Amino acid sequence: MKDSVYSPGAGHAPPVLAGRDELLDSWRMMLADVASMGRLRAEDTILVGPRGVGKTVTMAAFAEIAESKGFDVVSLQSSGGQAGLVPSLLHEANDRIESGASVWRRLKRVLDQIAGVSFGVAGVSASVSKHQTQTVAPTIVHPGTLAGALATLALDIQMDHPTGGLMVCVDEIQSSADSDLALIAAVLHQLNGNHRPAPVVFAATGLPKTLDVLAKAKVTHAERLFYVKGIPVTLPADAAKYAVVEPAARVGVVWDSDAADLIVAASKGYPAHLQVYAHHTWRVATGPAAITFADAQVGIEAGRDEIVSRALAPRWERMTDRRAEYTTAIALCGGEASTSTISAMLGRSAQEISWIREQAIAAGDVCVPQRGRVELAFPAMADYAIANYSKTVSESSLPLVPLEEMQSALDSRTGKEPSRDVGFATLQHPPEEEPTPGGANLGGPSI
């Protein structure tokens, strides 16, 4: 069928944001409290989790709710080497003023001063836009000054929209410069202490290492300043199935229940892969008003090819042999395990393998759902690692623990055979092939 209703790909909002109702309801209630009581009721939130779980789209939903209440929303993209917080806010202020939002003029005057630009000096204009940048010598940014300007803006907005205020959100906050992180924290502290009536709220997204990044930037007691809310790697089965069937139902297409269950099982409930599998199944389905179990089987095969070639194989290639060993041990446990179990499977103390764990976390291969446990950030990597690890062992110059020994150690520890999903169990690493005469490599994974 044409015109797929699904949205695979990084940063694309899914047609249905499933499994986030509790977060959205809590945010909606908090905004109502902030509109009436100011910063006293603000819950500045950082959504943390690995890539592909829907952090950015959840924050976008926060922003939509805020806008519906009359909040002005400032969305900033944090990226190393890009403009910092103050220049980004100045660009935003100029855009808002150009669009007729006069309440932003006072904030712009403050930001002009902070950015080191003054009116009437040697003919220098204070206008800075996204299309015209100017190199200036920055002055010291006083958090109190910026906090006061944001508070004034929020109160001015509320004069026109009684249930509104100001929302500032930052995507990928872990990529911000240390100085920006420290400034954000200091401004929020100032708002809490000196501008309590101001209806200002803050939201951000970040990878699981975000709290460590904040600590490195000397943001003290970040867990008290922010409500850090983890986004789990996988959705519950019912929410995952809803994410598959509901977008189709809205355009009059019905999924066979077994077909939708097959998509959920193949994706293991990982939101990004749900979209890939559902999209490919839609494309191969003959329709016009139903998607069958047979359609899902074919769609999953096509989805696997894409996931392997674009995500799993490149990530596996980047792993050191020791990280591949560590990853495979977690995979044999079903994708999540205690650190003590992994230690027993590899025959080394937790201290001996702690550096491998930290490398895997830093690379985004592994996350820590709770103290003493580790989890694969990409559930599909579990079966892929099991299928390809023996080849890594045979080619490595290191004495890696064989797959069979890991399994034996796990069986001895648990007293039973661990359960495994079928998923990618039969997938092998894509073989190296000669490019076709046209320049494209049409080779794919063996299935």
Are 311 and 253 within one domain? yes
Query: Is the confidence at residue 362, as pLDDT, over 60?
Result: yes
Question: Can you give the pLDDT at residue 111?
Answer: 84
The first and second tokens of residue 400, run together, are 């890696």
Report which of residues 85 and 409 the model is more confident about: 409
Q: Are strands 200-206 and 166-171 parallel, antiparallel or unpaired?
A: parallel
Are 286 and 187 within one domain? no
Question: Can you give the pLDDT at residue 115?
Answer: 66
Are 372 and 252 within one domain? no
| pLDDT, tens digit (0-9, with 9 covering 90-100), for 103-155 | 998 888 888 877 654 332 223 333 333 344 444 444 467 899 999 999 999 99
Are 76 and 141 within one domain? yes
Are 335 and 207 within one domain? no
Are 266 and 403 within one domain? no
- Output the DSSP codes for 393-435: HHH-SS-PPPHHHHHHHHHHHHSSPPP---TTTT--PPPP-PP
Report which of residues 36 and 137 the model is more confident about: 36
Are 360 and 287 within one domain? no
| 122 domain residue, yes or no | no
The first and second tokens of residue 23, run together, are 């977060």
| pLDDT, tens digit (0-9, with 9 covering 90-100), for 148-195 | 999 999 999 999 999 999 999 999 999 888 888 999 999 999 999 999
CA distance linking residue 47 with residue 203, whole number of Å: 8
Tally of structural domains, the chain: 3
Confidence of residue 253 (pLDDT cuts 50, 70, 90): very high
Structural domain including 328 reads 320-414
Asked which of 38-47, 101-110, 344-353 is least confident by mean pLDDT, the reply is 101-110
Query: Is the confidence at residue 426, as pLDDT, over 50?
Result: no
Q: What is the largest CA-CA distance in the chain?
A: 80
Count CA atoms within 13 Å of residue 273 on its CB side: 31
Work out the average pLDDT over 250-278: 96
Question: Can you give the pLDDT at residue 127?
Answer: 35
| Nearest CA among 72, 73, 70, 62 for reference residue 36 | 70
DSSP-based three-state secondary structure for 167: strand
| Nearest CA among 88, 75, 47, 25 for reference residue 226 | 47
Is the pTM higher than 0.85? The answer reads no
Are 161 and 41 within one domain? yes
Are 70 and 217 within one domain? yes
Are 75 and 178 within one domain? yes
Residue 296 neighbours by CB under 8 Å, 6+ apart: 256, 259, 260, 262, 263, 277, 281
| pLDDT, tens digit (0-9, with 9 covering 90-100), for 45-80 | 999 999 999 999 999 999 999 999 999 999 886 655
Residue corresponding to tokens 């806008």: 67
